[in-house]
């Protein structure tokens, strides 16, 4: 049983005024949420899911957009502590640098839930639960698709360029490691250039232009850590007079609608799903935590892999 600020105050209120008022009327739960930013289609869908789920759950949401800057998230968390919210949830833009501010939340008896991305802290009691995808497995799935594709083209050497996500973020670190784990030791699959595109279309295009300038026709595979960077890179590939999806095989992660549209145009070959629709589970988790119920330390989400062949059939079912 986690004795949060809210449970303590509730107990005092009930004990002291039990005779005076018919019942202790529960006020709406207040959640402070610090979001990474608005860098991608995935993030936009994630924010919509959180806001919609809070509304449906009758939870008062104090929402702060950090514009992909850790210092803004630390400031927001401190502000939530000062406002005595009942629970704090956030998607940490990078893995490290959270110990101090999470200790402040713990001292204030405000439970913290991680959503989407993980943190690297020595003291795991600094957060109650982490709900999000398994990014290492997403990287493995991207590589397994490419391995199967390579088996159908045995004569070919696959020179891969990699667009990494935000430097130091859990998805960038884990998707790189998962992909590398599966291609390790295979002489046919080689990463020849790897650089961050910071999960945005603009940066993905810019870095792909640089890859094409330096490696040119030597490139025959792009592995992008998210669909937005892949879509930006597709523009660069076309502007270089090459055919994305054919001259350069495009492997990506997220499964946003833009990726399905690119697959239907024959410009992207596969997207590994990473669901942003975490809102409903997060709100239920927050209510359980504040009620003092035991909750799992780690909650993952079920996800699939969508090759271009299924894009047209699947597109009408896509929710983000």
Beta-strand runs (E) in the chain: 30-35, 60-65, 87-90, 112-115, 129-131, 158-164, 189-196, 221-224, 249-254, 270-273, 298-299, 305-307
Closest CB 40 distance from ligand GZL, rounded Å: 4
Closest CB 68 distance from ligand GZL, rounded Å: 8
Task: Between 4 and 40, name the residue whose CB sits nearer to ligand GZL.
Answer: 40
Question: CA 268, CA 225: separation in Å to the nearest integer?
Answer: 13
Our CA angle for 302, 112, 121, nearest 5°, is 85
Q: Name which of 253, 230, 234 is nearest 243 in CA terms.
A: 234
Closest CB 169 distance from ligand GZL, rounded Å: 7
- Residues in the interface with ligand GZL (CB under 6 A) total 14
Going from the C-alpha of 269 to that of each of 92, 264, 297, the distances in angstroms are 30, 9, 35
Options 2-10, 25-33, 34-42, 79-87: segment touching ligand GZL (CB under 6 A): 34-42
Q: What is the largest CA-CA distance in the chain?
A: 83
Closest CB 276 distance from ligand GZL, rounded Å: 7
Closest CB 25 distance from ligand GZL, rounded Å: 38
Going from the C-alpha of 226 to that of each of 193, 264, 270, the distances in angstroms are 17, 18, 11
**Contact assessment for residue 69 and residue 94, using Cβ atoms and an 8 Å cutoff:** no
Closest CB 90 distance from ligand GZL, rounded Å: 12
Site string for ligand GZL, 42-61 (x = CB under 6 A): xx------------------
Options 39-47, 71-79, 100-108, 307-315: segment touching ligand GZL (CB under 6 A): 39-47
Closest CB 254 distance from ligand GZL, rounded Å: 5
Question: CA 247, CA 237: separation in Å to the nearest integer?
Answer: 9
40 contacts ligand GZL (rule: CB under 6 A): yes
Question: CA 140, CA 176: separation in Å to the nearest integer?
Answer: 9
Closest CB 60 distance from ligand GZL, rounded Å: 25
Site string for ligand GZL, 254-283 (x = CB under 6 A): x-------------------x---------
198 contacts ligand GZL (rule: CB under 6 A): no
Q: Pick the binder of ligand GZL from 34, 39, 95, 161 (CB under 6 A).
A: 39
3-state secondary structure of 112: strand
Q: Pick the binder of ligand GZL from 133, 220, 252, 269 (CB under 6 A).
A: 133
Q: Look up residue 288 and give its two tokens.
A: 């359980």
251 contacts ligand GZL (rule: CB under 6 A): no
**Contact assessment for residue 145 and residue 305, using Cβ atoms and an 8 Å cutoff:** yes
164 contacts ligand GZL (rule: CB under 6 A): no
Q: Name which of 210, 215, 2, 265 is nearest 110 in CA terms.
A: 2
Which stretches of the chain bind ligand GZL, using CB under 6 A? 39-40, 42-43, 116-117, 133, 171, 199, 226, 228, 253-254, 274
């Amino acid at each position: 049983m986690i004795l949060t600020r809210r449970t303590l105050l509730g107990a005092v209120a009930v004990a002291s005024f039990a005779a005076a008022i018919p019942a202790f009327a529960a006020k709406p739960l207040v959640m402070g949420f610090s979001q990474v930013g608005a860098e991608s289609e995935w993030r936009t869908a994630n924010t919509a899911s959180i806001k919609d789920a809070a509304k449906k759950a009758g939870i008062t949401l104090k929402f702060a957009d950090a514009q992909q800057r850790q210092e803004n998230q630390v400031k927001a968390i401190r502000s939530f502590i000062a406002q005595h919210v009942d629970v704090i949830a956030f998607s940490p833009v990078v893995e490290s640098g959270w110990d101090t501010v999470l200790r402040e939340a713990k001292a204030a008896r405000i439970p913290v839930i991680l959503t989407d991305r993980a943190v690297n802290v020595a003291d795991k009691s600094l957060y109650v639960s982490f709900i999000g995808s398994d990014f290492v497995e997403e990287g493995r799935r991207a590589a397994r698709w490419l391995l199967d594709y390579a088996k159908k083209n045995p004569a070919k050497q696959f020179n891969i360029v990699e667009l990494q996500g935000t430097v130091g973020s859990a998805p960038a670190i884990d998707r790189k490691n998962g992909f590398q784990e599966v291609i390790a030791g295979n002489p046919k699959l080689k990463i020849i250039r790897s650089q961050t595109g910071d999960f945005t279309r603009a940066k993905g295009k810019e870095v792909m232009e640089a890859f094409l300038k330096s490696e040119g026709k030597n490139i025959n595979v792009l592995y992008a850590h998210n669909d937005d960077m892949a879509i930006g890179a597709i523009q660069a590939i076309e502007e270089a007079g090459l055919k994305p999806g054919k001259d350069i095989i495009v492997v990506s992660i997220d499964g946003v609608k833009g990726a399905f549209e690119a697959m239907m145009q024959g410009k992207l070959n596969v997207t590994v799903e990473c669901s942003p629709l975490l809102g409903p589970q997060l709100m239920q988790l927050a209510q359980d935590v504040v009620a003092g119920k035991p909750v799992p330390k780690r909650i993952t989400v079920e996800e699939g892999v969508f090759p271009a062949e299924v894009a047209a059939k699947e597109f009408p079912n896509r929710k983000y």
